Chain A
């Protein structure tokens, strides 16, 4: 059999619906910890260390590659501690809610013409909606810990996530107006088949026209994933870890995976929306080979966007709470509204 035939028979819907659903969910369930491990090792451990003129972890595995795996195993062995006054059910469920929210974002991210769990007509709208569920989990953690630092962390997180949700959604609007669809798969094709003044050599990645949107999106993502300089909710020097303070062992691991998994998912969304996603501007987009090349192309773009996110993370000092709110409400939201109006005018005129 030729490669094409193998791929077609693999991808054709010969497996029953329930089986394909289980396989897809299994893949997503594997992708999240892998993504968290990759980001954690490449950026949090190595890139930060190199920026600070040190080596970072070197002992576990070659160049310390197995460090996070070792850390993960260590977390699994730890005692599962509940604070005495904690609301046990809510306390136990909170990290799961955060992780489920992360899980649900991955469902719509396309990595090839067929390599996507679910192609939804409301694609990007769905992704932004389910990403907002994590706030509920964070508030549950902050409340159920029965600890004033956790409570303050929860409150800070809620205020921050509500404030930055708006620029996040509004920044995407420009792309949606230009592509004329909410479907992530169609946004990818629109960029691959686009042309710059009649020249289709590199397609038309929306970062060229929506660079303001890209900037706002990245800042909002930084705040949504509570990465420094927007890490007020977990500021360890003031509120000793915020809503995570009472969590140990695998429940803390869930928060860690949620944070880095979400950062990876948002980087993937940025790659799809602004950098052209899995597609290359030349070649047949329906070709089966894109199901194999697509994930690799996506990974390169996701790592590039993540590098930007983590570069900001290691470079800027933490914002104060009022600066944080002012940046969102008085700068990013008006800027994104202007961006939408300008995009709308160009859409009508051109």
Chain B
């Protein structure tokens, strides 16, 4: 168990440091790349508690797709190399306030739910995940599918309208 605690400590420290750099760096590209480190840390934490499927999904979706879209967007909109455009920190205080509120809600919810429950470190197989997903959690799963479908159609409608107008 000691090795796991040490690993957790290292990963957590790297994540916190990178997360701070995401909001303090003045180069938006660097902010996105520090975010990659934070998300990779989340994935390794999932792997550490034996949630293999969730950890790998985290890599595939967040680093492989979401971050790539971020980088894509930044490169399309800020490709002017001659201007040293920097991000400002004008809305610093509302942002800190929001972050603190979110932290309070998350800590409250997690402590309230888990209290003294200790997770068993047995790796959770993909078969277990899918069994639970398609029996116990089938309704939320289908609801999320419909939500995503709605978002997809919405995106297409917006893109079409701009093209036509």
B60 at the interface (CB under 8 A from A): yes
Complex Cα distance A291/B89, Å?
Answer: 58
Q: A87-B29, A136-B68 are in contact. Are A142 and B63 (CB under 8 A)?
A: no
> How many residues on the A side are at the interface (Cβ–Cβ under 8 A)?
30
Within residues 63 to 98 of chain B, which ones have a CB less than 8 A from any CB in chain A? 63-65, 67-69, 71-72, 74-76, 79, 81
Residues from chain A with Cβ under 8 Å of B68 in the complex? 132, 135-136, 139, 158, 161-162
CA distance A87 to B36 in the complex (A): 17
Chain B residue at smallest Cβ distance from A165: B64
B41-75 vs A, Cβ < 8 Å mask (1 yes, 0 no): 00000000000110011011001110111011011
Quick one: which of A75-124 are within 8 Å of B by CB? 85, 87, 90, 120-122
Q: Which residue of A lies closest to B71 (CB)?
A: A139
* A140, A143, A165 pick with most chain B CB within 10 angstroms: A143
Q: Judge whether B52 and A121 touch: CB under 8 Å.
A: yes
Partner of A129, one of B29, B36, B59, B81: B59
Interface size class of B (residues with CB under 8 A): 20 to 34
Q: Is B53 within 8 A of A125, CB to CB?
A: yes
Contacts of A133 in B (CB 8 A): 59, 63-64
Report A-chain residues with C-beta under 8 Å of the C-beta of B33.
Answer: 90, 140
A90: chain B residues at CB < 8 Å are 29-30, 33
A154 adjacent to chain B (CB < 8 Å): yes
CB distance from A72 to the nearest CB of B (A): 29
Question: Which residue in B71, B76, B126 is a CB contact (below 8 Å) of A136?
Answer: B71
* Residues of A contacting B126 in the complex (Cβ-Cβ under 8 angstroms): 121-122, 125, 182
CB distance from A328 to the nearest CB of B (A): 15
Cβ-defined contact, B81 with A132, below 8 A: no
Q: Is B24 an interface residue, CB under 8 A from the partner?
A: no
- Contacting pair B123 A121 (CB below 8 A): yes
- If A139-B68, A139-B71, A158-B72 touch, whether A151 touches B59 (CB-CB below 8 Å) is no
In the bound assembly, the distance between CA atoms of A146 and B72 in angstroms comes to: 15
B145 at the interface (CB under 8 A from A): no
* Contact present for A151 and B29 (CB under 8 Å): no
A142 touches B81 (CB 8 A): no
Complex CA distance for A340 and B30, rounded to whole angstroms: 40
CB closest residue in chain B, given A176: B126
A131: shortest Cβ distance to chain B, in Å? 9
Specify which chain B residues have a CB less than 8 angstroms from the CB of A165 in the assembled complex: 64-65
A 141-154 to B, binary, CB cutoff 8 A, 1 in contact else 0 = 01100101001001
Interface residues of A in 142-200 (CB under 8 A from B): 142-143, 146, 148, 151, 154-155, 158-159, 161-162, 165, 182
Q: Can you name the residue of chain B whose Cβ is closest to the Cβ of A147?
A: B81
A250 smallest CB distance to B (angstroms): 22
Contacts of A161 in B (CB 8 A): 68
- A128 contacts B by Cβ under 8 Å: yes
Residue A23 CB within 8 A of the other chain: no
- In the complex, the answer to whether A154 meets B75 with C-beta atoms within 8 Å is yes
Distance in angstroms between the alpha carbons of A132 and B123 in the assembled complex? 24
CB distance from B28 to the nearest CB of A (A): 11
Q: Which residues of A contact B (CB under 8 A)?
A: 85, 87, 90, 120-122, 125-126, 128-130, 132-133, 135-136, 139-140, 142-143, 146, 148, 151, 154-155, 158-159, 161-162, 165, 182
What are 9 A-B contacts defined by CB distance under 8 Å?
A121-B52, A132-B60, A139-B71, A143-B74, A143-B75, A155-B76, A158-B68, A158-B71, A165-B64
